Amino acid sequence: MIKNKKQLKKACVVGDPIAHSLSPLLHNTWIKTLAINAVYESKHVKSDMFFQSTKDLFANSDFVGMNITLPHKGAALKRADIASEEAQLAGAANLLVRKGGQLYADNTDIAGFCSPLLESRRPAEWKNKKIVIIGAGGAARAALIGALKLNPGAIILVNRTDERAKTLADQFGHQVKAVSWSKREDALLNVALLVNASAAGMRGADPLDISLRRLETDALVYDLIYTPLKTNLLLEAERKGLLVLGGLDMLIAQARPSFEAFFGRPPPRDNAVKRVLLKALGENA
């Protein structure tokens, strides 16, 4: 049977650059699995065209929403009529949809950060524990907000630019403390969770200069990077026998609430989409 094209739902991800995005492959895999009459595309949008492009896309009644990646997450929040608490806290949005006749912004990066952690260990196991986050940009801010939801005892921020770490930490009160880059390895004592939320270690970027020798054997190391799949940080952690999580886990987790917001159905919970993404990354390696 030929599907009525008028019923085709459309969603997309916008960014600059955008060709590298795995979001179309991810969402279209779920769309195919669930046999939804929909398509998810990528759109290259420059900063000076973001507001107009958003207006044009939402003017189409078949368009159900968009994901937003760099450098537009701040602009997406400003573009919205209403926003979730998470988006307001993050000062950024990666999801725009219609809600009650208004444009609604959300930040699913926070839930995407937390979900793999809560699947790897029971929520109570994170309570009162010490967490170290490397970075001070947008990804680190989302990780910090997510980490606070775990009810930790303390969160330590470290960044190669000390002042940026201090500025971010100061926005969240006494529970969050910045430590100088020169003391980064001392900060790993008694840590339950180490998160790399910086670009260091990404393919084409500078390496992440940190040793894990002070980490306890029950610590979990979480690198938000997924190119390469196994960063040097994760490889070192595995050599020490530590549990690890990679950026692909967060990528899939943050996409789940977006997919449901777009198409009104939760995506499959199996690992099929991860296998598709792993194959794509392997082919591009």
**Per-residue pLDDT tens digits of the chain, which is 285 residues long:** 444 555 899 999 999 999 989 999 999 999 999 999 999 999 999 999 999 999 999 999 999 999 999 999 999 999 999 999 999 999 999 999 999 889 999 999 999 999 999 999 888 899 999 999 999 999 999 999 999 999 999 999 999 999 999 999 999 988 999 999 999 999 999 999 999 999 999 989 999 999 999 999 999 999 999 999 999 999 999 999 999 999 999 999 999 999 999 999 999 999 999 999 999 988 444
In whole angstroms, what is the distance from residue 218 CA to residue 268 CA? 31
Does 111-245 match 5-107+250-284 at the fold level?
Answer: yes
pTM: 0.91
Catalytic residue numbers read 73
Question: Tell me: the pLDDT tens digits for 8-18?
Answer: 999 999 999 99
Domain ranges of the chain: 5-107+250-284, 111-245
Q: How many C-beta atoms lie closer than 10 Å to residue 17's C-beta?
A: 11
HSE, CB side, 13 Å, CA atoms: give it for residue 103.
20
CA distance 41 to 63: 11
d(CA 128, CA 151): 6
**CATH code reported for the domain at 111-245:** 3.40.50.720
Q: H-helix or E-strand containing 133?
A: strand 130-134
CA 240 to chain centre: 26
Residue 74 CB partners (closer than 8 Å, separation 6+): 91, 92
**For 5-107+250-284, which CATH class?**
alpha beta
